[in-house]
Structure 1
């Protein structure tokens, strides 16, 4: 009997899974599906099997607001002349997104939208409630900050209408916008280097405007405590912890050595707490105790005309903006007609969607806290690594403020049930970061289904190991440089099902049909096959608990091939001796293995798994992990009369796409 080397992992009693929010001006591309949604859906389906479907909620939705969507809408109207409202424009993409998710078997409990439908009504109310809570906790400030203004076009510019160079030292982003770059670095607008207005092509000017800011930089100590807690609990991916820590560094300014020497000669004191100079680097580092001290130093450097770079650090988190298309901010302290900046309201949108879903079940809105905050619940947020700052720093800071934890009150955060971030690394396309402007256009999600089945793609994307590193997606039909006789790497893991597992299933059915009238032989399954399956089940469960999906696929690959070898070895012996007794043993063993493997595949290939279950003529207890080690008869409604469904010659359970023949 197989003895596990470690105890089975524990899971929460209830779980919420979120999967980011695609922008409402585009259909889903391969990165949305392969980088986030399939992973989130697979984990959701596993938890439903593991802790019960009623104990799991999976929410996502269309991110309807934000300056990129507004700019895209205006461009569409100008180029097409179509008479369409902003709401209808976004709703068009919402429908495209929901249809593509269905085609990949991605099935959220609710796929909402922040700007229309019942979820929008709830979202507006949640936004108001959270803003008022933060305001009453005195964690919001009105700050007069510079905003870019295009004097040629005579308009204020939103975040994506200004491009320049990221001021964060060492940043290699190819795009930096008004106050954030494409890699997620945050800075104040007046720090952007060489800004250009995309409307006029000229350099914009800065004008002061008032907005609401959350005092995120005051939560540095609490956020450091949160990181310590994450390390102790050992369940958060290293890339999440490392990225969060980068933003928790003390404020610094990097000045070139010759400029540093000029400051010394002019006896200009920048007010730094420490000056770091090892004599080897081309720049000198000025370290400051607080952000305001760093910003005073920036003023002095600007006055002297000295260029500099800043380091990653916490800055106040902007909550509001002045574009019309957005969620209204409550009027306070004479600030009227503001809307929420899209990033903060998209961070709490999953709460809005959770409430909307609970309301659809006639459950009170207040129950959201039971799912999000209680100790026996857990929230798993599937995101791309570029968004760790927003979810891992800004969201966590606002959560602590909402719970009444102030930066100066000394309260422990040990009892805070922080969401767990499942951040995937970049899913590249043909070894490069996907870009619609590149020579070879990256495929949209629906295009891939013209060449592959959803099962093949789900298997492939899960196998890539995005928890560890960025990986290239290289589908042969979309790679002009791939030799015609080269194998398609996307099919490797799918072939495990369409070839090896398919062959095992067919062999079981055909042998049972030929020798046992489609009846599963009622003999005790050998310990040898149970050991193979039980080890796989334990490994699979641990890998799922850590969201290491590539290891889940590896485990499935190993067990399918092991059982296939078992079949070949012992069925050959049965045929050599023409032994029905041995045939019965091998068929019973293999069907026990096939049903156990099918339970492991259910979260990954849900529709086809249901199809196979129906042919095995087993009931839905097959999916429950309460019965994961049970014999096949435990899943039969009437064991005395049970038979497998009849299959024709060359029958396929897992099918290939027609283009692959």
Structure 2
């Protein structure tokens, strides 16, 4: 039976952080390693998602081409995964020719069916200055839900609301900084609503055409819940094309200049990755994707549930011939020290940074894996902390696993010259070891990886307790030839062998080191199943007379005066977070009160009637440009609401870059008599605040205000 595993394709527009690792990649790695140890036919595919507006936005920001961006981050993320032991069978990329071919074939098949696509002409924002339609991420504006001024056309990253570009208040093109216009364009939509009944039955009952496909009771509740929420609201057609110059060309004679929407082509990346691996390994990709016996599992984060449980299955069903997933064990989100990961605020640590920071510390890669496994966000959001990292490392890896293995190898060399002794009686731990293998394995098969890790620690704890209570050193003092010494060490060595094996899905680098110490072959496919059979038959994993090496200190403790290397690394990370907090607090700190003597003198008193003569209004800057032959003046165009725009000349050129001003909310005096300045007509005056050093700042209306409202 083939086991086909996928992990969400990460965007190749930036480095990945620990939250990504804990969501879709580390859980899949544990599962894949275990299945291989059970001798299963396993193929785990992933790759870089290299299309979409996020790529072009990053390229624009860094001043390089989209190809440069995807090459840079594909390589960085792929190397980071490898350094942390993430054992993909194939890591593809959606810019590859085979992926373009696979995606276009998928589109053609659906298009030929005649009833899977809806073609619509709609109005979409267009940037006249750049001469192109704007994808959602090319548009910014004020969120209509929370008033955040930097919301994108598809989502507000402040409140998390899903948006459409036309909902934004004061939309601005991120390309030119100008207000876009609406222009008609034609797009293809996947008729998702057509598949609603099938999806509802498949999600709730696990059946397709009356045949049982999966067991809904084995799916996580939050996965089922999110799917049913969408189904109960009613599914809508989903656009699958975009007017962009970066992506996969839509293979249709009426779709010139259009590309496939990234959400449509990205999951097809699982298929193209499989095809590429099969081409390079002499296999048939249909044995995985079109074999009814295939166990297809999608590993994702909760933000991808709808795509993998509703949209992609509907696409596969519409195409025909493909298997559907048996499970989608989506994880919740991982936070960092009580807050969301944020590169802009310096909050968190990225994978490549961790690899570089911990590269000289023994087993640093596995230390991270273990800390994340013990705190995986399987059913609810979790929080990574350096205190937790330290505790899991010291208590689990150093005090339990490392301590047991070191003591066993030292005592074996002391009492039996480094060889497995022959016990006088039968093994006393055989049944316990069989149970441990079964317990750890069953948790992994049920995607309960935290429970599996707990069962692994319990086995290491049992080993320490067993050794301590048997106390062979005490027996040796009374009688060096006491046969119980051989029995104890024989049993402890069998425990060590099982720990070395079961460590592999969790901490593979350490597992390999321990197997080397025990002079066993490096873990191979089928070893778990073989060990299970040997133990069930009463046979040892390490036979009498087998020579072993010495473990030494596998995990130097973090809290240890003798070796503070890791403590220093962690302290540097804590210092980084402290600096980020200080910067945030400084930005939010109240301004110190200015002495009255430093303030400018007050102007003569006026009447209330004089003040009411001023017409103060809210507005937004649309355009800004320098005025020739003037180093002080800028020419601005402002939006006063109701379709009214005005020309404004303002003496702020020495204080602001005109490229930064489009989208700036302002308050203006609208009823001053117009006048020409440097040959340019000015029809309003922008209000500014000036401090004692001559620094200017805009007087801005509250976030979320529209244009043209009275200020009084």
* TM-score range for the pair, normalised by the shorter chain length: 0.7 to 0.9
8 Å CA contact retained: 2:503, 2:510: no
Q: Quote the offset at 1:357 in angstroms.
A: 0.5
What residue is the counterpart of 1:135 in the other structure?
111
Alpha-carbon distance, 1:75 to partner: 1.9
2:602 aligned with 1:625, yes or no? no
Confirm or deny: 8 A CA contact 2:139 2:165 kept in the other structure. no
User: 1:29 maps to which residue?
Assistant: 17
Q: Residues 141, 524 of structure 1: CA spacing in aligned structure 2 closer, same or farther, 3 A cutoff?
A: farther
Q: Which residue pairs with 1:362 in the alignment?
A: 282
Deviates more, 1:529-538 or 1:588-597: 529-538
Which structure is richer in relative contact order (CA contacts within 8 A, separation 6 or more)? 1
- Output the CA distance in 2 between the equivalents of 1:423 and 1:202: 40
CA contact (8 A) 1:28 1:97 kept: yes
Partner of 2:123: 146
SS where residue 503 of structure 1 aligns? helix
Cα 1:389–1:192 shift into 2, 3 Å:
farther
In 2, are the aligned partners of 1:613 and 1:619 still within 8 Å (CA)?
yes
The CA deviation string for residues 548-601 of structure 1, in whole angstroms up to 9 with x for no partner, is 111111111112112211110002553464353111111111111111122211
| Match 2:328 to one of 421, 432, 435 | 421
Whether the aligned pair in 1 keeps the contact of 2:516 and 2:522 (CA below 8 Å) is: no
- When the two chains are superposed, the root-mean-square deviation of aligned CA atoms in Å is 2.9
1:76 match: 62
Structure 1 residue 519 displacement after superposition: 1.1
Provide closer, same or farther for how the CA distance between residues 195 and 387 of structure 1 changes in structure 2, counting only shifts above 3 A: farther
SS of equivalent to 1:249: helix
| CA-CA distance at 1:640 after TM superposition | 7.1
Residue in 2 that maps onto 1:473: 384
Whether 2:155 is the aligned partner of 1:235: answer no
Distance 1:586 1:427 in 2: 43
State which of 550, 566, 570 in structure 1 corresponds to 2:470.
570
- TM-superposed CA distance for 1:470, in Å, is 0.5
Q: Note the residue ranges of structure 1 that are not aligned, 5 or more in a row.
A: 1-12, 78-83, 251-312, 405-414, 476-487
Q: Decide whether the 8 Å contact of 1:14 with 1:56 is kept in 2.
A: yes
Are residues 1:616 and 2:523 paired? no
Shift of 1:171: 9.7
Residue 68 of structure 1: how far off its partner (Å): 1.1
Question: Which is greater in Rg?
Answer: 2
Shift in alpha-carbon separation, 1:236–1:472, aligned structure 2, 3 A: same
| 1:11-410 to 2 correspondences below 5 Å | 13-52=1-40, 55-77=41-63, 85-115=65-95, 120-138=96-114, 139-150=116-127, 155-164=132-141, 177-179=152-154, 189-191=165-167, 195-199=171-175, 203-230=179-206, 232-250=215-233, 313-332=234-253, 334-363=254-283, 367-403=284-320
Q: CA deviation at 1:370?
A: 2.0
- Alignment-derived partner of residue 411 in structure 2: 511
Name the SS of the counterpart of 2:465 in structure 1: helix
Q: In the TM superposition, what is the alpha-carbon distance from 1:123 to its structure 2 partner?
A: 0.3
From 645, 650, 655, give the equivalent of 2:549. Answer: 645
Distance 2:176 2:148 in 1: 23
CA contact (8 A) 1:525 1:589 kept: no
Q: 1:516 to 1:61 in 2, by over 3 A?
A: same
Distance 1:165 1:576 in 2: 79
Question: TM-score, structure 2 length as denominator?
Answer: 0.71
1:199 Cα deviation from its structure 2 partner: 4.1
Query: Take 2:120 and 2:243, find their aligned partners in 1: how far apart are those partners?
Result: 14
Candidates 424, 441, 453, aligned match of 2:347? 441
* Distance (whole Å) between structure 2 residues aligned to residue 173 and residue 537 of structure 1: 52
- CA distance in structure 2 between the aligned counterparts of 1:388 and 1:59, rounded to whole angstroms: 18
Structure 2, unmatched stretches of 5+, are 207-213, 559-564, 569-712
Counterpart check, 1:532 vs 2:432: yes
Give the direction of change, closer, same or farther, for the CA distance of 1:435–1:646 in structure 2 (3 Å limit).
closer
Partners of 2:148 and 2:442 in 1: how far apart? 36
Per-residue deviation at 1:461? 0.8
Shifted more, 340-349 versus 516-525: the winner is 516-525
Q: CA shift at 1:633, angstroms?
A: 6.9
Contact kept, 8 Å, 1:213 with 1:320, in 2: the verdict is: yes
Seen in structure 2, the aligned counterparts of structure 1 residues 525 and 418 have a Cα distance that, compared at 3 Å, is farther
Residue 255 of structure 1 corresponds to none
Scaled by the length of structure 1, the TM-score of the pair is: 0.76
| Residue matched to 1:408 | none
Contact 1:179/1:189 (<8 A) preserved: yes
From the superposition, tell whether residues 164 and 437 of structure 1 become closer, same or farther in structure 2 (CA, over 3 Å): same
Q: Residue 269 of structure 1 corresponds to which residue in structure 2?
A: none
